[in-house]
Structure 1
Amino acid sequence: MYNCFESCSDACMNLLDALAGNTGASSIAELSLNPLFPRSYNSIYKARKESFNTTSQEANNEVEEEKEEPNNLIRVVSELIDQPQQRPFYLFALDTTPHPRPYAKTLADRGYIYQPNTIIGNKPINIGHSYSILSILPEKETGNAAPWSIPISGERVSLDKSGVEVGGEQISSVMCDSSLLWDEKLCILVADSAYSQRSFLFEQSKHKNLVVIARVRSNRIFYQSPIIDESNKKRGCPKKYGERFNLAEVETWHEPDETTLTQQTTRKGRILNITLLAWHQMLMRGTKDQKMYRHPFTLVRVHVTDDIGNSVWKPMWLVVIGDQREEISPLVAYQSFRQRFDIEHMFRFSKQRLLMTQFQTPDVEHEENWIRLVMLSYVQLWAAKELATHLPRPWERSKEQNNDKIVTPSVVQRDFHRIISEIGTPARSPKTRGNSIGRVQGQTKTPRTKHPVVKKPSKSTPNKQNTA
């Protein structure tokens, strides 16, 4: 990590240590009071500004640096990921998280973003930015293991793109890098229903070693593979789609190709019965450019009931698409998708404990740098989890000290100060530089430009042309 920063590497490393070992600071400036940050509070803002700064390069070199720098970070993080032992694939998760900035009138590229609201009746929207995060989900020794999700790529979703488009670019950069550990090895990507649209699945199907498991809405319409009758061959283009399969109409379903019954025991000891119905060689409608009939998939219906047969949740539908999808059983697909929710825990921990959305800046580049620094601080917690000891609070009597059965990010963060104090840091000690001369008397700064909030146009309705 120390070599990945463009400048101010010492201040950046101290900032990462202070952020990973933060247990009380509620603002960015308060991190300067952390013993792991032996610098003034001004160094925090300089480290954030200069950490991934490429403005000093020429225009052509600047574009190349921006393309190479995230890959350097991915290579550093990938060295901390162990090769899977219990499963023959690497598991990735992709999702977007909101970064609300409703009062930053001088912040460019703000728009309306989705943000969940707990108050009934309020619309789940806000004003600000959103970020697409790609992470790796490590193996779990037990079903009750800690929900770790190691971020490897974080990109801001600009107004001219969607979160799905940015996520597709992140996946392509990871899958096409031959220097990474998972090159030419089986990889699985789990994602929510937003990533089950045709355009995303078509692009990801080009990666031969990638299988996408995405949830789909219960009102989607798919098709069976057509039955080819060689004896009654007709002229013209052969039939590409078979019988209609409406997820909302049971009478359109045909007999499943595979049925799996299993049980799951929750942490509280509740037994759940899981029924998995799988239909192979299913198709979805495509376009002239996106010929989806060339990319069949497996459709899985997940129904969870309790011990008396009552439905616990609404049945869930999953799509398993990719050239190597046949190597993934319906049970493995369901278990892999359940682990996708670990990325939600990572989002919540980063915002509550790593101050992910607490940095208020009017510069878009500085905000993007801060998101990457938060991701790296989370990676440091993952790297130190084997050295952490559990330090329960005085009121946590039910937990035993030095219990390493479940090592969560919060447990590592409590003990991170001791770990870094014993191991040390590559950052050099700060030196006194003296006082700055400040501004010249009479010098004034130009007020920042206020940017309007931009609303993305709907893709279904074309823009209205101005008439003369």
Structure 2
Amino acid sequence: MSLLPDAGRREAFAEASRFRGEFYECLTARRDELFQLSDAVLCMDGAVKAAVDLTLLPEHRRGHGAMYGGLNHGRIDTQRLRTVLAGLPVPRFSDGRLVLDVDVSPWLRSDAPCSPERLFCHVYGRAKTASQFIPGWPYWFVAVLEAGATSWTAVLDAVRLGPVNDVTTVTADQLRGVVERLIAAGQWQTGDPNIVIVSDAGYDVTRLAWVLRDLPVELVGRVRSDRVMRLPKPDRLPGTNGRPPKHGPEFRFTKPETWPEPTVVTHTDTADYGKAETQAWDRIHPRLTHRAAWLEHEGELPLIEGTLIRLKVEHLSKEREAPAVWLWSSRTGATDEDVDRAWKAFLRRFDLEHTFRLFKQTLGWTRPRLREPEAADRWTWLIIAAHTQLRLARPLVQDRRHPWEKPASTDRLTPARVRRGFRNLRATMPCPARAPKPQRPGPGRPPGTKNRRQAPRYDVGKTVRREKTLIALQRLKG
């Protein structure tokens, strides 16, 4: 039975109020300051240009010293907060399937030599060949995607990559934790369709599929257009001597003469890209070698088969023809519906870019000049909690559009337009933060006294050596 509009609003209001109380319980130190700081991010008019400006708002009832103390010395039970986020209502596709996206967004800190654990982050410039590597803190985000054209996502997790971490290992552990929490929260049950996880070409999708093979997930990732994979091994003829081959002929993406007849061919009319044509080949796999990524693997390297998809759309814009995109899915024996679902889910991954832009340009995620990476982690989780409140308040706020903007229905409001009306909604919602206690500020360093304790400088990049290398491992086995 469908809910009436008033009953739906009451349920949404109760869910948003419940999350505010659970989020407050996840703050284990300086909780009042951190909670009011998150409210100030939501209630500020316009974009957050500096973190100290938040202390001037009436929603933040403490001074600027309390803000710095909360970010530097506060504590957040992130594991409990992750569990709370997994239990909230999440968007689903038309068949009830969950689609997750994992992507990285850097917090650039090129002018912070005293900040530890910085890495070289790949940043794209305005020109096609203007990519750069700038020091910063890379954060891995996992979010649930919505069906259709939208700028809304449900962010469930964030992990900062350190100098000693391996990208694929961190991503696999992060995705495993998210999926297990979704299953524990009842978001996926036995008999439901598999959870689809989409990723870009920067992730080793075949290795992720092997590590997460025990979970009810399907990996769909973009692969480079210059890759070389292998076809299934041919049938062995009677009377043939010698060791049977493990791999079939080469499948070179840049040489169509190496492509066999596709097992699936689909044609779909799209509103933005014209006609979309897909070709799919079953049981395509990479030929793994003894590289550093598989040093810990015991025995013979596995054979990871999946479906290779070539997507070609008619146009990206009216003036430019679109190049072909290669996707690899961990699903074998895919049908026409499976292939169409895979590339349509992959195209929805670009919605997370709108969330990153909202984080940085509106909510001020990368605005504070924090020295310690732990403080940056706390601020990141505050931004995630603020964005979650916007998502829960989506059906509750009134549209406060600018005179030059077109009216929009409640289900079509963007996160920025929902944020404009959150201050009015907050006045009716519970606020568990306590009133500040009056106290005098500390004396600080006496005037005219120099700082005798200089902050240490840190190198940038992967400065920690691995314990095992390929040569050392071969010596141990030899």
TM range (shorter): 0.7 to 0.9
Tell me whether 1:158 sits opposite 2:166 in the alignment.
no
User: Counterpart of 2:341 in structure 1: which amino acid?
Assistant: V
Other structure's SS at 2:28 match: coil
In the TM superposition, residue 71 of structure 1 has moved relative to its aligned partner by 3.0
Q: Deviations over 1:177-219 (max 9, x none)?
A: 4523336652111000111454334323x23311110001111
Tell whether the 8 Å contact from 1:211 to 1:323 is kept in structure 2 after alignment: no
Tell whether the 8 Å contact from 2:163 to 2:464 is kept in structure 1 after alignment: no
Q: 1:221 aligns with which of 228, 232, 236?
A: 228
- The correspondence of residues 103-252 of structure 1 with structure 2, limited to 5 A, is 103-119=111-127, 122-138=130-146, 140=147, 143-144=148-149, 146-177=150-181, 179-180=184-185, 181-182=187-188, 186-196=194-204, 198-204=206-212, 206-229=213-236, 232=238, 237-252=243-258
Change (3 A) 1:424 1:197: closer
Q: Deviations over 1:111-131 (max 9, x none)?
A: 322111125664422122211
Q: 2:395 aligns with which of 386, 389, 409?
A: 386
- The correspondence of residues 454-465 of structure 1 with structure 2, limited to 5 A, is 454=461
Gaps of 5+ in 1: 54-68
- The correspondence of residues 366-445 of structure 1 with structure 2, limited to 5 A, is 366-396=375-405, 399-400=406-407, 403-436=409-442, 438=444
Q: Distance in 2 between matches of 1:418 and 1:171?
A: 36
Change (3 A) 1:454 1:302: closer
Tell me whether 1:2 sits opposite 2:24 in the alignment.
yes
In the TM superposition, residue 324 of structure 1 has moved relative to its aligned partner by 9.3
| Corresponding residue for residue 102 of structure 2 | 94
Q: 2:328 aligns with which of 310, 319, 323?
A: 319
Q: 2:68 aligns with which of 45, 51, 56?
A: 45
Between stretches 279-288 and 250-259, larger displacement belongs to 279-288
In the TM superposition, residue 274 of structure 1 has moved relative to its aligned partner by 0.6
Tell whether the 8 Å contact from 2:91 to 2:154 is kept in structure 1 after alignment: no
TM normalised by structure 2 equals: 0.82
| Corresponding residue for residue 61 of structure 1 | none
Q: Distance in 1 between matches of 2:259 and 2:336?
A: 24
In the TM superposition, residue 423 of structure 1 has moved relative to its aligned partner by 1.6
- The correspondence of residues 27-38 of structure 1 with structure 2, limited to 5 A, is 27-38=50-61
Q: Distance in 2 between matches of 1:328 and 1:46?
A: 54
Other structure's SS at 1:31 match: helix
Matched positions, count: 435
Tell me whether 1:332 sits opposite 2:337 in the alignment.
no
Q: Distance in 2 between matches of 1:5 and 1:372?
A: 11
User: Counterpart of 2:58 in structure 1: which amino acid?
Assistant: P
Other structure's SS at 2:421 match: helix
Q: Deviations over 1:126-153 (max 9, x none)?
A: 1222111111113x3xx33x22122211
Change (3 A) 1:74 1:176: same
Tell whether the 8 Å contact from 1:300 to 1:317 is kept in structure 2 after alignment: yes
In the TM superposition, residue 458 of structure 1 has moved relative to its aligned partner by 11
Tell whether the 8 Å contact from 1:130 to 1:156 is kept in structure 2 after alignment: yes
Other structure's SS at 1:329 match: helix
Q: Distance in 2 between matches of 1:372 and 1:134?
A: 13
Tell me whether 1:80 sits opposite 2:102 in the alignment.
no
User: Counterpart of 2:94 in structure 1: which amino acid?
Assistant: Q
Q: Deviations over 1:85-120 (max 9, x none)?
A: 622421111111111111111111223221111256
Q: Distance in 2 between matches of 1:134 and 1:456?
A: 27
| Corresponding residue for residue 281 of structure 1 | 283
Tell me whether 1:345 sits opposite 2:354 in the alignment.
yes
Q: Distance in 2 between matches of 1:320 and 1:207?
A: 16
User: Counterpart of 1:71 in structure 2: which amino acid?
Assistant: Q
Q: Deviations over 1:395-448 (max 9, x none)?
A: 33xx12x63241211111111111111223222222213343556898966221
Q: 1:448 aligns with which of 452, 455, 465?
A: 455
TM normalised by structure 1 equals: 0.84
Q: Distance in 1 between matches of 2:347 and 2:426?
A: 34
Identity, in percent, stands at 23
In the TM superposition, residue 342 of structure 1 has moved relative to its aligned partner by 0.8
Q: Distance in 1 between matches of 2:188 and 2:281?
A: 29
| Corresponding residue for residue 298 of structure 1 | 307
Tell whether the 8 Å contact from 1:262 to 1:273 is kept in structure 2 after alignment: yes
Other structure's SS at 2:427 match: helix
Change (3 A) 1:323 1:313: closer
Cα RMSD (Å): 3.2
Tell me whether 1:272 sits opposite 2:274 in the alignment.
yes
Q: Distance in 1 between matches of 2:166 and 2:302?
A: 25
